[in-house]
Amino acid sequence: MPSSDIPRLCGGLFLLQLLRMKKPSTRTKAEGLKGQKDSVNNQRVFEALIRIFYPDFKINSDESFAKDTAEYRACKKSAGINLPFKMKYCDSTPFDTMVKTRYNDILPVVSEFADLYLDLEDTKACDAVKAILQTIATDTTIEPEDIFYINGAMTKQELLEQEELVLEPFLLGIWHFILLHKPNNLVGRDTFLDWNEQGIEGDQWTYTSHIGKDYPLDIKLSQMNGYTFYNNSDTVDEEVLEEDTEEYTSEDIMSPAYSAYRVLFQQIIINPVVNQFIGVPGSSQIANNNGIININFGATAPSSAPIPYTSQEPLDEEYYHLIVGYTYKNRIIIDKSRALNEYISEETKQIFSTENTNLLKGLPALIMPEADRTGAPQDVTLGYVTKVRSQDNGVILYVSKDLEFPMQLLIEHKELFGISHIFELSRTHWTIKHINLLEAMEDAGIHYE
């Protein structure tokens, strides 16, 4: 990527800065030998961070969570069974609704997160906050008018003018912005490599970046309880990025703040708020099934609805839809005789079916007409399957649209996309390929951001 793509704000780099603030381990070597777990290791911090966004989150595989945590921090992975950052695994709408309508009910959970896992007496807290701010300032994909919810709605420009910040609302606002608008964690990979050094492959990474050291404002950072942090240091000390090596066991969070938040979150899911904003900017009313809720958002009213699928949506690392014989429409009806029964491996066929529609949602898709054998120019559309409905006359796929690229690129690099013969692109059908689509596109010279 060109240098203008560094830095880029994403979840992995946010986690990296949070882990720089992490409390040191309180477990002694003797306690470790006796099997006592580290209460503030990377995985536990990451799991608690995920539960701010999705309180019912449960790790599906304790054995792989250490690797998932490390790869998410390194911006090598966006989503998966342990990383619920896309619609296939978790709907972000309830969290977005909570932030925009029940903001003060989430803050105690964030405050508890900070108290449990962050070292609030270390200068790294200010260093990390300034690193995040400078990343936002120089990330050209974040527009000056883009909105952050930090004790009310504020634009990027307004955020960068703040000389005083409270840590908990700041962390909540940045995490919310990333999950809603910057979920493609892979775009931060070059930034991670720019900020960190590794001796040889397999060695621990060392954080060496100066990001934030020349941030133009002298930020006064405090906590909700009034505690004021030490200001950031002027020197740059190299920091070894710790890796978790012990077996991890997820634990339920039973605190009163978390339990109350979880109940409210479930109420949002059961009785979702209809985002109908009425009144003047800065003071809004939202109508729901129980009446009117009055909300103050500060200077700017929020947008009317979250955007679950955008050009920043992360590509799934495992599978993609290949839909041949159709020009792009946001709703495509496929005959069941052509649905998931051709050019599909037996292993993939055992996972997906037209009846289990939940697994089909959230996967990326390539949509194209049948290949014209005369060589006439044709395009392939990249999008996302956002909804699937099976009915008597076929399967309906609802598809978003992100970009188009020449079909000739797909033909020239067909093996990268799991296409063994050109004839497959000349027959109308819908299949699913067990292929990392992002890597295939990059290798074929098709750049997706």
What is the rounded CA–CA span in Å between residue 336 and residue 428? Answer: 12
11 falls within a domain: yes
pLDDT band, residue 362 (cuts 50/70/90): confident
**Average pLDDT of span 287-311:** 34
Q: Which helix (H) or strand (E) holds 108?
A: helix 103-117
| Sign of the torsion angle spanned by Cα atoms 117, 123, 126, 128 | negative
Asked whether residue 164 is assigned to any structural domain, the reply reads: yes
Gap between the Cα atoms of 442 and 106, Å rounded = 39
More confident of the two residues 265 and 147? 147
**How much is the mean pLDDT over the chain?**
81
Work out how many domains the chain is built from and give that number. Answer: 2
pLDDT at 131 > cutoff 90: yes
- Residue 310, in any domain of the structure: no
Tokens describing residue 358: 């939940």
- Per residue in 58-96, pLDDT tens? 887 667 888 899 999 999 988 887 888 876 566 678 899
Per-residue pLDDT at 121 = 74
Q: Is residue 449 part of a domain?
A: no
| Contact yes or no for 386/399 (Cβ under 8 A) | yes
| Contacts made by residues 54-63, CB under 8 angstroms, sequence distance 24+ | 54/84, 54/90, 54/95, 55/109, 55/258, 55/261, 55/262, 55/265, 56/262, 56/265, 56/266, 57/84, 57/90, 58/250, 59/248, 59/250, 62/247, 62/248, 62/249, 62/250, 63/247
Same domain (yes/no): 333, 213: no
Task: Average the pLDDT over each of 115-119, 198-202, 359-363 and give the range with the smallest value.
Answer: 198-202
Residues 350 and 261 occupy one common structural domain? no
Q: Which range among 59-73, 80-94, 147-161, 347-361 shows the weakest confidence by mean pLDDT? A: 80-94
Helix (H, G, I), strand (E, B) or coil at 284: strand
> Is pLDDT at 442 greater than 70 in this prediction?
yes
Are 99 and 173 part of one and the same domain?
A: yes
Return the pLDDT at 206.
Answer: 94
Tell me, yes or no, whether 367 and 222 share the same domain: no
The more confidently predicted of residues 108 and 277 is: 108
Q: Both 66 and 208 in a single domain?
A: yes
Q: Does residue 265 share a domain with residue 169?
A: yes
Higher pLDDT, 25 or 267: 267
- 101 found inside a domain: yes
The reply to whether 240 and 328 lie within a common domain is no
Tell me which of 270, 289, 311 is where a domain ends.
270
Identify whether 51 is part of a domain.
Answer: yes
DSSP 8-class letter at 99: H
What is the mean predicted confidence (pLDDT) over 372-383? 87
Predicted TM-score (pTM) of the model is 0.63
14-33: pLDDT as tens digits: 999 999 999 887 655 555 55
Question: Which of 230, 254, 270 is the last residue in one of the domains?
Answer: 270
Q: Are residues 169 and 27 in the same domain?
A: yes
424 falls within a domain: yes
Q: Which of the given ranges, 37-46, 104-113, 310-319, has the highest pLDDT on average?
A: 104-113
In a domain, 63, yes or no: yes
Residue 346 shares a structural domain with residue 220: no
3: left (phi over 0), alpha (psi -120 to 50) or beta: alpha
H or E stretch at 154 = strand 153-155
Domain residues for the domain of 340 are 320-443
* pLDDT (0 to 100) of residue 280: 31
Per-residue model confidence (pLDDT) at position 356: 78
Considering the domain architecture, whether residues 241 and 389 belong to the same structural domain is answered as no
Clarify whether residues 77 and 189 are in a common domain.
yes
> Can you give the pLDDT at residue 87?
61
Closest C-alpha among 304, 255, 280 to residue 96: 304
Last residue within a domain, chosen from 270, 293, 308: 270
Same domain for 365 and 260, yes or no, is no
- Residue 294: pLDDT above 60? no
Q: Check if the beta carbon of residue 256 is closer than 8 Å to that of residue 264.
A: no
At residue 228 the predicted structure's pLDDT band, cuts being 50, 70 and 90, is confident
